[in-house]
Amino acid sequence: MVDKITDTNKVIIVGKVVSEKEFSHEMYGEGFYNFELGVPRLSDYIDILPVTISERLLVNIDLVNGKYVLIEGQLRSYNRYVNNSNRLVLTVFARDIYEPKDEEIDELLKKPNEIFIDGYICKPPVYRTTPFGREITDLLIAVNRPYNKSDYIPCISWGRNARFCEKLLVGDHVRLWGRIQSRDYQKRLSNGEIITRTAYEVSISKLEYIENDNNRQKEEEEAVETNI
């Protein structure tokens, strides 16, 4: 369960391996691989999520297509330079992997996709409505990790959360719970070609605004000092 606030970025996902693992990179003599995990929603839709994992976690596990695994880790971001522009790339960075027993799978699939992040608004929120009238606010959350690095995680909030998030300011501190989802979209290139890409984002189910650590408090204090 991702209920306890023990980390600023915690992910637990359960699903089937749906791709072969491919070598990604090596760091300090440790090899890392990428693969995709099909994680089901309650609606029967399956999110195809990218996972990055160390070779040291795969000593006793063979990642074959169709195998169920449970991944614990973090949702991380990095910039990839493609076609003269930077793209934000997201991946679930595995810290542990577990191969559940057959009798455990049904219970684990009741909550197969959970994420908790604790971070800061780093871009003005964008409020919009869908053609069906659903209210959505897009957020970009900066989540700090050691060695002066940060992950930038796109998030979407719905309904009353969307109306609340619309008023958040850059620098506001929030904690949120939800799930990671994949979404296909079409993009028109400069040559007129239309390609299909996949975006990854966190769909927010619960959000906590940290009132004593935000820009508003600082701005209000500055306003009071100015008026004295």
pLDDT in tens, 81-131: 666 677 889 999 999 999 999 999 999 999 999 999 999 999 999 999 988
Q: Which SS3 state, helix, strand or coil, does residue 9 take?
A: strand
Average pLDDT on 25-48 reads 94
- pLDDT for position 7: 87
Q: What are the distances in angstroms from CA 194 to CA 87, 95, 162? A: 17, 37, 30
Least Cα distance to 156 among 103, 105, 116, 205 occurs for: 205
Q: Which helix (H) or strand (E) holds 160?
A: helix 159-165
For residue 47, name the pLDDT band (cuts at 50, 70, 90): very high
Q: How many CB atoms lie within 10 A of CB 172?
A: 23
- pLDDT for position 80: 80
> Quick check: 225 pLDDT over 70?
no
For residue 18, name the pLDDT band (cuts at 50, 70, 90): very high
- pLDDT for position 226: 41
Least Cα distance to 127 among 176, 178, 166, 88 occurs for: 166
Q: Do 114 and 11 form a contact (C-beta atoms < 8 A)?
A: yes
For residue 221, name the pLDDT band (cuts at 50, 70, 90): low
- pLDDT for position 102: 95
For residue 191, name the pLDDT band (cuts at 50, 70, 90): confident
> Quick check: 224 pLDDT over 50?
no
182 forms beta bridges with: 200
- Write out pLDDT tens, residues 62-78: 999 999 999 999 999 99
* DSSP 8-state assignment for residue 43: T
Quote the mean pLDDT of the chain. Answer: 89
Residue 180's identity, in one-letter code, is I
For the chain, list the domains and their CATH numbers.
Answer: 9-227 (2.40.50.140)
CA distance 140 to 126: 10
